[in-house]
Structure 1
Amino acid sequence: MTDRSQADTDKSAIRNAAAIIVLRDVDTTPRVLMGQRGDNAAFMPKKFVFPGGAVDPGDADITLARPLPDPCATRLSEDSDENLNAALPVTAIRELWEETGLALGIPGTWAGTVPTDWQGYADTGCVPSAHALQFFFRAITPPGRPRRFDARFFVVDASEIIGDPDDFSAACDELSHLQWLPLARARELELPFITEVVLAELAAYARNPEPPASVPFFRNDDEESLFLRLRGLMPQADD
């Protein structure tokens, strides 16, 4: 995940973040997009991870062409406010673009002025859309780490990418060795613990790529670690 500066100098503060899991060839030999963090990265050096990073202040101001679908949007709203709910899918799309050079969205023209850090993305002829994203996993970094994140993981099929999914030429240098890895091989790499857990969940999902009945939440507080399930608000039966 990208380590973005913040006004608060307390590096132990938990920052909201989004990661994006891109799958391809789900019907044959499922593969997942991953890259390796640098040796000198403050957070998870040398580890293979999914594209992702902290929420930027301007992410909530980006208009999505289509919103995150239910029940994912409802589950995402648990323990978060409306502004954050709007920002998180945008963060996932932005981080995918920055770290891999892949544009996720739908063909279209931006309304109004394109923000500077979205110009390259807009030049692809794409506008950001969350309609194909599924809220898949949530995890809070354990205490004692140099950076802590409350990360929401989204999954999407590579068919939603605009352009060539093998073209990483527009990527920044945040991740190296970008590649599409078979799910079985991905778990053999040097991974953060939570990425191993997500990949295990992903293997089951790849066999049935439908919105899961609930979203796993690996919660690490200062006092305890809990593995919960987010189900969102369930409809009430009529009296």
Structure 2
Amino acid sequence: MRGKPTETRARGLAYAAVRETWEEAGLLFGRARLEDAPDLSGLTLFMRAITPPGRTRRYDSRFFVADAENLSNIDQPHHDGGGELLTLSWLTLDEIASLDLPLITIDALKRLKPFLDQGRLPPQDCAASFQYYRGKTWVEDEISPAP
């Protein structure tokens, strides 16, 4: 977030993640119907990364994690052909390793793997990794959870 972090801004980012999950994957997070307000309590900010300068496309990405039990239509995702995905597939981390993914996505999954190997997700009060360039140096900070 630019400026002072606030609960309102954090909630806005979480809502954006839920909206993108619906728009791009057809999955309803934290609600039974699309018109219901989502319950964001199962969503955890895990990582943030800003694409290095000079790239054709730059992103300021937030990576959220949540238990799949928060998806009400996990077995029947909505797909109208308008999203970025042609099909939705559930893969293991080992299966994902063979895909051509952006390096930052691979890094996020590597950071998540130790938690999943223990059969859990990161706790909601964990610090999130924040990666970005400062000048010519790749910096990794932490975003502390709200008190």
**TMscore range, shorter length:** 0.7 to 0.9
Of Structure 1 and Structure 2, the greater helix share is in: 2
Gaps of 5+ in 1: 1-76, 109-120, 235-239
Structure 1 vs Structure 2: percent identity of aligned residues? Answer: 31
Distance 1:81 1:233, change over 3 A: closer
Gaps of 5+ in 2: none
2:51/2:58 contact within 8 Å kept:
yes
Give the 3-state SS of the residue equivalent to 1:87 in structure 2. helix
TM-score, length-normalised on structure 1?
Answer: 0.53
CA RMSD of aligned residues (A): 2.4
Of 23, 29, 38, which aligns to 1:104? 29
Once the 2 structures are TM-superposed, how far is the Cα of residue 87 of structure 1 from its aligned partner?
Answer: 1.2
Instruction: Find the counterpart in structure 1 of residue 17 from structure 2.
Output: 92
CA distance in 2: counterparts of 1:185 and 1:175, whole angstroms: 18
Of 206, 222, 230, which aligns to 2:143? 230
Of 78, 85, 96, which aligns to 1:186? 96
Once the 2 structures are TM-superposed, how far is the Cα of residue 189 of structure 1 from its aligned partner?
Answer: 0.5
Letter in 1 for 2:111: E
Partner deviation per Cα, 1:73-92 (whole Å, 9 max, x = no partner) = xxxx7965435323100100
TM superposition outliers: structure 1 runs of 4+ over 6 Å: none
Partner deviation per Cα, 1:1-29 (whole Å, 9 max, x = no partner) = xxxxxxxxxxxxxxxxxxxxxxxxxxxxx
Of 45, 50, 67, which aligns to 1:157? 67
Once the 2 structures are TM-superposed, how far is the Cα of residue 210 of structure 1 from its aligned partner?
Answer: 3.8
Larger Rg: 1
Letter in 2 for 1:183: L
TM-score, length-normalised on structure 2?
Answer: 0.82
Of Structure 1 and Structure 2, the greater strand share is in: 1
CA distance in 1: counterparts of 2:85 and 2:4, whole angstroms: 29
Of 79, 84, 94, which aligns to 1:169? 79
How many pairs align? Answer: 143
CA distance in 2: counterparts of 1:185 and 1:163, whole angstroms: 23
Instruction: Find the counterpart in structure 1 of residue 128 from structure 2.
Output: 215
Tell me which of the two structures has the higher relative contact order, counting C-alpha pairs closer than 8 angstroms and 6 or more residues apart.
1
Letter in 2 for 1:204: P
Once the 2 structures are TM-superposed, how far is the Cα of residue 157 of structure 1 from its aligned partner?
Answer: 1.1
